[in-house]
Amino acid sequence: MKKIIGLLIVSFGLIMFSAPTVFAASGASLFKANCSMCHAINGQGGKMAPNLSHIGSKMSLSALEAKIPTMPGKAGLPKSTVDSIANYLESLK
C-alpha cells in the first residue's frame, strides 16, 4: 500500500512539474503558426511587431494570457491555444 501511495505521489509530482514544459513545447509551434508572421524570436520571424526573444522576463504569464487575444486577428483563438503560447513566451527569459 505504501508503495502505491508513493508511486501516486511521484506520478502526480511529475505531471505537475512537466505540464509547463509540455505547454511551452506545443506553444512554440503554435507561436510559429499564429504569431511569427509579425513577431520574431531570436531572429526568426516577422519584423512588423516587437521582438519577443526575452518577453518572459518582462511580462508575467497572466499578462501574456491577457495580451495575446488583443493582438490583431487573435480574438478568436481558443483558450488552450492562448495558454500554450503564453506558457511558451513566459519561458523566454
Query: pLDDT tens, 37-93?
Result: 999 999 999 999 999 999 999 999 999 999 999 999 999 999 999 999 999 999 999
Predicted confidence at residue 8, as pLDDT, reads 40
What is the tens place of the pLDDT at every residue in 2-46? 555 444 444 444 444 445 555 566 999 999 999 999 999 999 999
Domain 20-90 has CATH 3.30.1330.30: no
Conformational region of residue 43, where left means phi above 0, alpha means psi within -120 to 50, and beta covers everything else: left
Q: Which residue has the cell 505540464?
A: 19
Return the axis-axis angle of helices 2-34 and 79-90, rounded to nearest 10°.
Answer: 90
Q: What is the DSSP letter of 75?
A: T
> Who's near 81: CB < 8 A, 6+ residues apart?
30, 34
| Angle, alpha carbons 49-88-7 (nearest 5°) | 175
